[in-house]
């Protein structure tokens, strides 16, 4: 038997298994959201759980909060990530071993990131105590509260710490190749570095930038750890609301949590489709400009 023919299938097997687990979990979530949970004695298809969830008074404030911090953190992460990528490439920092430090926040769990922000920015945290020792504040309690507030600053800070390095590692690989070939040719022809970056490098990086934004937005919208630890008590973020319902002691209550998850899935698909349409429209408009 020629084992070399099996090698490609073996290599993609982990991905296939992960996709299989993801699809199974998604289908199981949707099935339970319609009231099918034999372990709890529920065997009748119904929309009552969706109706109950949609009629909740805290649903739309939770949805608004989740969309707010997800959009703000993702937009800021992309802007900062692209600017830092350009700076790292132009300065040659990407070729130094110290550049690997950007990988650290990515491998650190979100739970640890939340605890880091909590220890740094709380009124009893490291920064407030340092400022107190420097006599910049009369007491640690005078340090501005950026956690558990209505602006979700703590959540946004935590996601930025995680997402900016991810965007950098996504973008910098493409940017290095452009800057090393086409960019140098443009500079030799008299274009300024800013003009080269804005007119050549940035447009060629846009597909990667769009993908980075979509990935960080999807994760920040669906994750619950950071909003759970750093968010307000009310309104709760939508993933936190689903988590609270999921941990309800009565198993027959589980479909309410799954209905919330189902709503998040539908919203994620809708936002992804809208984002895709905007991206494709922008590509067509850009292609038309280039043709003219």
* 212: containing domain: 55-241
**What's the CA gap between 140 and 86, in Å, rounded?**
38
Q: Would 230 be classed as within a structural domain?
A: yes
How does residue 149 score in pLDDT terms, banded at 50, 70 and 90? confident
Q: Which of 59-68, 178-187, 272-281 bottoms out in mean pLDDT, i.e. has the lowest? A: 178-187
Q: Would 157 be classed as within a structural domain?
A: yes
168 is written with which tokens? 């950098």
How does residue 165 score in pLDDT terms, banded at 50, 70 and 90? very high
Question: Residue with structure tokens 């973020």?
Answer: 237
Q: What is the pTM of this model?
A: 0.82
**What's the CA gap between 221 and 243, in Å, rounded?**
14
Q: Nearest 5°: CA angle at 218, between 199 and 56?
A: 135
Q: What is the mean pLDDT of residues 228-248?
A: 89
Does 15 have pLDDT greater than 50? Answer: yes
Contact assessment for residue 258 and residue 29, using Cβ atoms and an 8 Å cutoff: yes
Closest CA to 40 of 259, 255, 262: 255
Q: Would 89 be classed as within a structural domain?
A: yes
* Confidence at residue 180, expressed as pLDDT on a 0 to 100 scale: 59
Q: Would 5 be classed as within a structural domain?
A: no
Does 190 have pLDDT greater than 70? Answer: no
Does 257 have pLDDT greater than 80? Answer: yes
* Confidence at residue 192, expressed as pLDDT on a 0 to 100 scale: 66
pLDDT tens for each residue of 167-188: 999 898 888 877 555 656 666 6
pLDDT tens for each residue of 77-111: 999 999 999 888 888 888 888 888 888 888 888 88
Does 66 have pLDDT greater than 90? Answer: yes
Contact assessment for residue 113 and residue 158, using Cβ atoms and an 8 Å cutoff: yes
* Confidence at residue 291, expressed as pLDDT on a 0 to 100 scale: 47
* Confidence at residue 125, expressed as pLDDT on a 0 to 100 scale: 84
CATH of the domain at 63: 1.10.3720.10
Q: What is the mean pLDDT of residues 148-170?
A: 91
Which string of DSSP letters, residue by residue, matches the chain? Answer: --GGGTHHHHHHHHHHHHHHHHHHHHHHHHHHHTTEEGGGTEE---SHHHHHHHT-TTHHHHHHHHHHHHHHHHHHHHHHHHHHHHHHHHHTGGGSGGGGGGGHHHHS-HHHHHHHHHHHHSTTSHHHHHHHHTTSSSSGGGS---SS-TT-HHHHHHHHHHHHHHHHHHHHHHHHHHHHTHHHHHHHTT--HHHHIIIIIHHHHHHHHHHHHHHHHHHHHH--HHHHHHS-SSSPPHHHHHHHHHT-S-GGGHHHHHHHHHHHHHHHHHHHHHHHHHHHHHHHHHHHHHH-
Mean pLDDT for the chain overall: 84
Closest CA to 121 of 2, 226, 257: 226
Q: Would 93 be classed as within a structural domain?
A: yes
Structural domain total, the chain: 1
Q: Would 94 be classed as within a structural domain?
A: yes
- Report which of residues 3 and 269 the model is more confident about: 269
- Report which of residues 117 and 141 the model is more confident about: 117
Does 288 have pLDDT greater than 60? Answer: no
Q: Would 50 be classed as within a structural domain?
A: no
Q: What is the mean pLDDT of residues 220-242?
A: 89
* Confidence at residue 72, expressed as pLDDT on a 0 to 100 scale: 95
* Confidence at residue 282, expressed as pLDDT on a 0 to 100 scale: 63
Q: Would 136 be classed as within a structural domain?
A: yes
How does residue 74 score in pLDDT terms, banded at 50, 70 and 90? very high
Ramachandran category for residue 139: left, alpha or beta (phi over 0 → left; psi -120 to 50 → alpha): beta
How does residue 73 score in pLDDT terms, banded at 50, 70 and 90? very high
- Report which of residues 87 and 291 the model is more confident about: 87
For the chain, give the percent of residues with pLDDT over 70: 89
């Amino acid at each position: 038997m020629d084992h070399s023919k099996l090698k490609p299938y073996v290599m993609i097997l982990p991905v296939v298994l992960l996709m299989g687990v993801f699809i199974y979990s998604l289908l199981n979530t949707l099935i339970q959201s319609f009231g099918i949970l034999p372990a709890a004695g529920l065997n009748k298809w119904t929309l009552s759980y969706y109706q109950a969830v949609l009629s909740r008074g805290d649903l739309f404030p939770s949805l608004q909060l989740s969309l707010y911090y997800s959009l703000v953190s993702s937009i800021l992460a992309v802007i900062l990530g692209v600017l830092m990528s350009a700076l790292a490439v132009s300065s040659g920092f990407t070729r130094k071993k110290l550049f690997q430090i950007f990988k650290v926040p990515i491998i650190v769990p979100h739970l640890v990131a939340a605890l880091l922000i909590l220890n740094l920015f709380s009124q009893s945290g490291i920064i407030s105590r340092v400022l107190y020792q420097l006599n910049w504040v009369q007491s640690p309690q005078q340090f501005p509260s950026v956690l558990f507030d209505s602006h979700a600053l703590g959540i946004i800070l935590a996601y930025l710490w995680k997402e900016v390095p991810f965007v950098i590692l996504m973008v910098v690989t493409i940017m290095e190749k452009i800057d090393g070939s086409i960019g140098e040719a443009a500079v030799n022809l008299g274009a300024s570095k800013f003009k080269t970056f804005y007119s050549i490098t940035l447009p060629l990086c846009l597909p990667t930038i769009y993908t980075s934004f979509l990935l960080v937005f999807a994760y920040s919208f669906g994750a619950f750890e950071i909003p759970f630890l750093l968010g307000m008590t009310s309104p709760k973020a939508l993933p936190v609301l689903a988590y609270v319902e999921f941990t309800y002691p009565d198993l027959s209550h589980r479909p309410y949590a799954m209905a919330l998850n189902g709503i998040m899935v539908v919203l994620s698909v809708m936002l992804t489709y809208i984002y895709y349409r905007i991206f494709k429209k922008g590509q067509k408009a850009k292609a038309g400009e280039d043709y003219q």
